[in-house]
Amino acid sequence: MPDKCDMRWFKQTFHDQIDSAIDGTPFTLDFLTALACQETGEVWPTLRKQNLSVDQILELCVGDTIDFNSATGGGRSAFPKNKAALVAVTDPNGQEMFDLAHQLLVDMAQFIDSYKGAASQPNKFCHGYGIFQFDLQFFLEQPDYFLQKEFADFDKCLAKALGELQSARNKIGLGSQDSLSDLELCHVAIAYNTGRFNPAKGLQQGFRPPGGLFYGEQIFAFLQTAHGVPVEDDTAPSPFGGNGNATNLKVKSTQLNLRSEPCNPGNTSNRIATLSHGDALQAMSDQITNGFIEVQTTDDNSLQGFAFAGLLEPA
């Protein structure tokens, strides 16, 4: 589940491109952040913590696997239902698309455990492409978007998403409004996801995982969280003075989490270690970022990360 630290990364990485693209539309940076969290939030928040470039992360933002089996019933109704339906296409090249789609699943599953089982099956492949997800059902009409991996180009992926969002808001009667409320934005997102919106059902529409929230409810929750995530870091001089690594510090609280980035997600997802009262540290910066200072432990198992400055004191 994406958290505030993930949203912070997304905003800092893509806000310039998004701000330019949404000019003159009712869509917002917070809304596009929430949409990315909703559509591929099980993928890119994990990928960003690996040793991958932004381009590599975007290329691996694929999901939703296909392998319809008529013998077992259920499954996908849209094209393509399975490998056979895809490779039967000769113009555009369905076999080439399958090979790409399966390989991207395998590559992504190296980092995302929940996809490892699907990736081990030779007929499985993904039908959602790009950080905002565009479905493979449009392969016959727009083959280059998939075969040329245009979904891995953030500007092209964003343009595709904005076009689909514009179509969705027109479809549900919001096309003439200059601005949209949070609820209306989520209504558009539901139509983006399902192709329709039923006012009688409110946010309780779209996919719902077992025990989880409906698509509409979840993206509304992401949107509220995104409102509280600024684009720019809050920086200030360190209250401990010195020149970064010249300053010796110690933990003054009972416990203190050492984190991989200057951000508290409200959980342990970016925790490197838990430090104890009196543990010695060395400051690696003379700046405080979002309340955190970069430090290094001074024991034999030296660790470097970010600690909340309010729980430290000079040694």
What are the pLDDT digits (tens) for 201-227? 999 999 999 999 999 999 999 999 999
Residue type, 261: E
The answer to whether residues 82 and 221 belong to one domain is yes
The answer to whether residues 193 and 250 belong to one domain is no
Provide mean pLDDT across the span 299-314.
Answer: 93
Which of 227, 244, 276 is the last residue before a domain boundary?
227
Q: What is the pLDDT of residue 72?
A: 40
Q: Is 287 helix (H, G, I), strand (E, B) or coil?
A: strand
Q: What is the pLDDT of residue 254?
A: 97
| Number of domain units in the chain | 2
Residue the block writes with tokens 């838990």: 274
For residues 304 and 259, the answer to whether their CB atoms sit within 8 Å is no
Other beta carbons within 10 Å of 264: 18
For residues 65 and 105, the answer to whether their CB atoms sit within 8 Å is yes
Which strand ranges, in their side-by-side order, compose the sheet holding 134-135?
62-66, 125-129, 134-135
For residues 149 and 157, the answer to whether their CB atoms sit within 8 Å is no
The answer to whether residues 125 and 182 belong to one domain is yes
Residue type, 101: A
The answer to whether residues 196 and 246 belong to one domain is no
**Residue 125: pLDDT over 50:** yes
Q: Give the C-alpha separation, 124 to 118, whole Å.
A: 6
The answer to whether residues 101 and 75 belong to one domain is yes
- Please tell me which residue, 240 or 129, carries the higher pLDDT value: 129
Task: Using CB atoms within 10 Å of the CB of residue 202, give its burial: 0 to 12 exposed, 13 to 18 middle, 19+ buried.
Answer: middle
Cβ neighbours of residue 293 closer than 8 Å, sequence gap 6 or more: 238, 240, 249, 283, 285, 287, 306, 307, 309, 312
φ, ψ of residue 56 to 5 degrees: the values are -65, -40
Q: Provide the percentage of residues in the chain whose pLDDT is more than 70.
A: 96
The answer to whether residues 165 and 246 belong to one domain is no
Q: What is the pLDDT of residue 70?
A: 46
Closest to 127 measured CA to CA, from 79, 91, 161, 92: 79
For residues 194 and 206, the answer to whether their CB atoms sit within 8 Å is yes
Q: Please, which pLDDT band fits residue 243 given cuts at 50, 70 and 90?
A: low
Q: Give the C-alpha separation, 85 to 43, whole Å.
A: 27
Q: Which runs of consecutive H residues, i.e. helices, occur in the chain?
A: 4-21, 29-40, 44-47, 54-59, 83-87, 94-109, 116-119, 143-147, 154-171, 182-194, 215-227
Threshold 0.85, pTM exceeds: yes
**Residue 154: pLDDT over 60:** yes
Tokens found for residue 231: 């684009």
Cβ neighbours of residue 156 closer than 8 Å, sequence gap 6 or more: 145, 150
Q: Provide the percentage of residues in the chain whose pLDDT is more than 90.
A: 91
The answer to whether residues 131 and 240 belong to one domain is no
Which of 172, 193, 227 is the last residue before a domain boundary?
227
The answer to whether residues 166 and 275 belong to one domain is no
Provide mean pLDDT across the span 229-246.
Answer: 86
For residues 197 and 210, the answer to whether their CB atoms sit within 8 Å is no
Tokens found for residue 207: 């996919």
Average per-residue pLDDT for the chain: 94
Q: Is 263 helix (H, G, I), strand (E, B) or coil?
A: coil
Q: What is the pLDDT of residue 244?
A: 61
The answer to whether residues 87 and 215 belong to one domain is yes
Q: pLDDT for 49-96, tens place per residue?
A: 999 999 999 999 999 998 655 444 446 788 999 999 999 999 999 999
The answer to whether residues 167 and 310 belong to one domain is no
* Element containing residue 275 per DSSP (H, E): strand 271-276
Which of 227, 248, 269 is the last residue before a domain boundary?
227
CATH of the domain at 244: 2.30.30.40
Q: pLDDT for 267-298, tens place per residue?
A: 899 999 999 999 999 999 999 999 999 999 99
**Residue 3: pLDDT over 80:** yes
**Residue 9: pLDDT over 70:** yes
The answer to whether residues 159 and 50 belong to one domain is yes
Q: What is the pLDDT of residue 50?
A: 96
Q: What is the pLDDT of residue 301?
A: 83
The answer to whether residues 293 and 196 belong to one domain is no
Cβ neighbours of residue 237 closer than 8 Å, sequence gap 6 or more: 286, 287, 288
Owning domain of residue 294: 235-314
Strands 125-129 and 134-135, by their bridges, are: antiparallel
- Please tell me which residue, 264 or 71, carries the higher pLDDT value: 264
